Amino acid sequence: MVGEVRRVSAGDGARLREVRLAALAEAPGAFWQTWEAEAARPDDDWRRRAARNAAGHAHATFLLEHDGEPVGMVDVHQPSLVPEFRELAAMWVAPAMRATGAADLLVSAAVAWARSVGAIGVRLWVEIRNVPAQRMYRRHGFTQVGSPSPDRENPGGKVYLLMVLAVDPDASASRAFLARANGPWTDESG
């Protein structure tokens, strides 16, 4: 059993904090946010995030649970500058659950949700050295778009690749699709 995936509930603030901090502690090289900044957020923030991501078309978090324990997660949100897309972020599977198909369950849930709310595509940024994640996203049909983007706030630090999956075949046939997908990144995790 690879675990079960469900959308976060409004009362899952503490569980969301637990799994997000576990991800940032275990894989700091994979994420833009830091453990220190996320750990400093007050409990109210986590309650608000869980409630926001539990319902509606703009934000969703999916939790992976095994024997009732949170062992993975993925966030999806509507980027304000390209609202016809959804952006996948904060993807993590605990090491003990890797290479089991658990990551596929999370990505499939995120993409199915994006489709269900009418997104034309799903985009994400992945660190250039993060080969396992890139391979996993490619297996789901994501392709690299544009050139690698260094983190402007930390010169010499992380470099990100933009990857995109078309969800609506008509919209993705348009020339504007990739240009829109390549729209600027803004931190909307909070």
Ligand X SMILES: CC(C)(COP(=O)(O)OP(=O)(O)OC[C@H]1O[C@@H](n2cnc3c(N)ncnc32)[C@H](O)[C@@H]1OP(=O)(O)O)[C@@H](O)C(=O)NCCC(=O)NCCS
Residues that bind ligand X (CB under 6 A): 27, 30, 91-93, 98-99, 102-104, 126, 130-133, 135-136, 139
Q: Which is nearer to ligand X, 27 or 171 (CB)?
A: 27
> Concatenated DSSP letters for 108-120?
HHHHHHHHHTT-S
Q: Which is nearer to ligand X, 83 or 95 (CB)?
A: 95
Q: How far is Cα 171 from Cα 149, in angstroms, rounded to an integer? A: 25
Q: Which is nearer to ligand X, 26 or 43 (CB)?
A: 26
Identify any residues that bridge with 77 across adjacent strands, giving them in sequence order: 59, 87
Report, in Å, the least distance between residue 8 CB and ligand X: 17
Report, in Å, the least distance between residue 124 CB and ligand X: 6
Report, in Å, the least distance between residue 176 CB and ligand X: 25
Q: Which is nearer to ligand X, 48 or 160 (CB)?
A: 160
187, two tokens = 């931190």
Report, in Å, the least distance between residue 142 CB and ligand X: 10
Give the residue among 37, 39, 106, 122 at the shortest CA–CA distance from 70: 106
Q: How far is Cα 30 from Cα 52, in angstroms, rounded to an integer? A: 24
Q: How far is Cα 139 from Cα 8, in angstroms, rounded to an integer? A: 25
Strand order in the sheet with 69-77: 4-7, 59-66, 69-77, 85-93, 121-127, 159-166, 143-150
Q: Residue holding tokens 């544009």?
A: 146
Report, in Å, the least distance between residue 44 CB and ligand X: 26
Q: Which is nearer to ligand X, 10 or 37 (CB)?
A: 37
